[in-house]
Structure 1
Amino acid sequence: MTTKHSRLQQWERTAAPYLTAMSVLFIAVYAVPILWPGIDPVWGRICDGAGLLIWALFGADYVTRFSLADGRRRFVRAHWFDLLVLLLPALRPLRALRLVFALKVLNQRAESWTRGRLAVYVGGATVLLVAVAALAVLDAERGQPGAAIDSYPEALWWGVVTITTVGYGDLAPVTMEGRLVAVAMMIGGIGLLGFVTGSVTSWIVDRVAAGPKPEEITREQLTELLDEMRSLRNEIAELRKPMRGPEVSRAPEG
């Protein structure tokens, strides 16, 4: 193991809790101006500034890991999604993609926190995905011409309907950014629901397999049963013998 690789692993272990805290804080400062659109402009600018600062720290973490990697081209190929999500949100219509990076960091930590407890992990991931996607779609849709999603409860309802693939059609995004969020929700919904369905099916099968089983008949029990049947048949034959004897002669008619 090379020295650089050891330093990279040490950096990732050291930075992991700070990145997790920054991800939670980033989602919070992203959500505040969306959930309270009438917030004082000063606080709105503070939230925007904090979001940009945290995003810059995410970028600094990527650059640090890139510099510590053994093969930098291999590192970029292995972490191309991180780089893409870091660069694309510089465009205003793709600003919601910043949430994807924050969710990715939280997901990595959740995998270690809930190791061996898949139900907790999947449940938490589903709730977080719906809540964050609702924020993103509300940010994209509110105030746009023809938009039907204008409040967070409506956005949450849209998120639940979308991730479960029910698709009532009562609420639908009309902007490009909102539709990108919808695509991500659809893909996430298919994966999560497939996992949930498989888990429930496996649980049912395990419960059925663990249930009471009929007692197996041993060879000795089968032999005893056959002997009893033979004995019973012999007894019936003995009882029927008098019925098969010579008939009693009738008395002569007078």
Structure 2
Amino acid sequence: MSVPPSEHEQQQHQRWELLRRLDRLTNLPMTLLAFVWLALLIVDLTAGLSSFWQTVSNLIWVLSILDFLLALLVAPDRTRYLRANLLTAFSLLLPALRILKIFRAFRALRLLRATRSINLLRLLTSLNRGLKAVGGAVRQRGLGYVVLLTTILTLGGAAGMLAFERSQTPGGPGLNTYPEALWWTAMLMTSLGSDYWPVSLEGRLLTFLLALYALAVFGYITAAIASLFIDQDRKQAPLGGSNPSSLETELRAIRQELNALRAERTGQQDP
């Protein structure tokens, strides 16, 4: 005899169901806002944001905080939910440093390393939110999904490399423009490499993380593309180089012979 669920268990189930409905309701708009926020971060790291776009970025940040707090309020186990979304919570705390103008204080005190370290954390956490947004938008984890992830990491990684390395080599060899940083990052992601090696600690750390991703994914992309070409060749080339009509004739003849042998064998076994 089954025991009916208690009132507490029923409330827990209802709250989980409400959390799933809330996630379905806000998934699409928050996914789009995550991509916009990541794009604004790339622009901020490479060229800086105007007052209008900074306001847009702050508005997206506020909406993201409200969405996170609402989900945290509805979640039956808040500690469990917070642990599962710790990077998201951390990414929502970092923009407060810009709102509080701590970046200006860092510049005034010439603590450039602290500024770059915070920018690295902003970039990594924003990329994490962008990758989660891709995971929520793309259901099939195929070649297209991996290519989209790689593109986002390449664009974001190039912005970070420019922000970390531009001040290291002003006017000299290195990464002084976003196209140069994008080319360098693309070469890193394809495992080809470049003559330039990062100077800043943050640039080296970001390079290491991008290289780990490239090492894990580039082989998969190469194998998937090769498999795609092989499948196309198999579809275009008939089996054994023969005409499809002749193959059908041969198969029909073999089928007739098998039917004749089966009929002969059946006749021999009859009394």
Tell me which interval the TM-score lies in, with the shorter structure as reference length.
0.5 to 0.7
Name the CA distance, whole Å, in 2 between partners of 1:174 and 1:47: 31
Cα 1:45–1:208 change in 2 (3 A) is closer
User: 1:197-237, CA deviations, whole angstroms, 9 ceiling, x for partnerless residues?
Assistant: 3323543564576654448997xx9xxxxxxxxxxxxxxxx
Name the CA distance, whole Å, in 1 between partners of 2:44 and 2:88: 26
Residue of structure 2 aligned with 1:67, choices 67, 73, 76: 73
Residue 69 of structure 2 aligns to a residue whose secondary structure is helix
Name the CA distance, whole Å, in 2 between partners of 1:48 and 1:135: 17
Equivalent residue letter for 2:204: R
On the 8 A contact 1:94/1:177 being kept in 2, the answer is: no
Cα 1:24–1:110 change in 2 (3 A) is closer
User: 1:93-113, CA deviations, whole angstroms, 9 ceiling, x for partnerless residues?
Assistant: 222433444444443443455
Whether 1:137 and 2:161 are equivalent positions in the alignment is yes
Residue 176 of structure 2 aligns to a residue whose secondary structure is coil
Cα 1:8–1:101 change in 2 (3 A) is farther
Question: Identity over aligned residues, as a percent?
Answer: 26
On the 8 A contact 2:38/2:130 being kept in 1, the answer is: no
Cα 1:183–1:45 change in 2 (3 A) is farther
Name the CA distance, whole Å, in 2 between partners of 1:3 and 1:101: 31
The worse-fitting range, judged by mean Cα deviation, of 96-105 and 201-210 is 201-210
Residue 50 of structure 2 aligns to a residue whose secondary structure is helix
Whether 1:9 and 2:20 are equivalent positions in the alignment is yes
Alignment of 1:25-64 (within 5 A): 25-36=36-47, 44-64=50-70
On the 8 A contact 1:161/1:167 being kept in 2, the answer is: yes
In structure 1, the residue matched to 2:269 is none
Equivalent residue letter for 1:156: L
Question: 1 or 2 for the larger relative contact order (CA 8 Å, sep ≥6)?
Answer: 2
Once superposed, what is the RMSD of the aligned Cα atoms? Answer: 3.5
On the 8 A contact 1:149/1:172 being kept in 2, the answer is: no
Relative to the length of structure 1, the TM-score reads: 0.67
Residue of structure 2 aligned with 1:181, choices 201, 206, 231: 206
Name the CA distance, whole Å, in 1 between partners of 2:36 and 2:140: 27
On the 8 A contact 2:166/2:176 being kept in 1, the answer is: yes
On the 8 A contact 1:86/1:98 being kept in 2, the answer is: no
In structure 2, the residue matched to 1:123 is 147
Q: Alpha-carbon deviation of 1:196?
A: 0.7
Cα 1:150–1:121 change in 2 (3 A) is same
Relative to the length of structure 2, the TM-score reads: 0.63
Q: Aligned pairs, how many?
A: 215
Name the CA distance, whole Å, in 2 between partners of 1:113 and 1:21: 9
Cα 1:207–1:45 change in 2 (3 A) is closer
Q: Alpha-carbon deviation of 1:58?
A: 2.7
Cα 1:33–1:201 change in 2 (3 A) is closer
Which 5+ residue runs of structure 1 have no aligned equivalent?
Answer: 38-42, 222-254
Residue 2 of structure 1 aligns to a residue whose secondary structure is helix
User: 1:74-124, CA deviations, whole angstroms, 9 ceiling, x for partnerless residues?
Assistant: 223322332344446757322243344444444344345544483332222
Which 5+ residue runs of structure 2 have no aligned equivalent?
Answer: 1-11, 98-113, 241-246, 258-271
Name the CA distance, whole Å, in 1 between partners of 2:18 and 2:86: 21
Alignment of 1:205-244 (within 5 A): 206=231, 212-214=238-240
Alignment of 1:83-94 (within 5 A): 83-87=89-93, 90=97, 92=115, 93-94=117-118
User: 1:129-163, CA deviations, whole angstroms, 9 ceiling, x for partnerless residues?
Assistant: 21121112212222235782110111011111111
Residue of structure 2 aligned with 1:24, choices 35, 39, 45: 35
Cα 1:177–1:57 change in 2 (3 A) is farther
In structure 1, the residue matched to 2:187 is 161
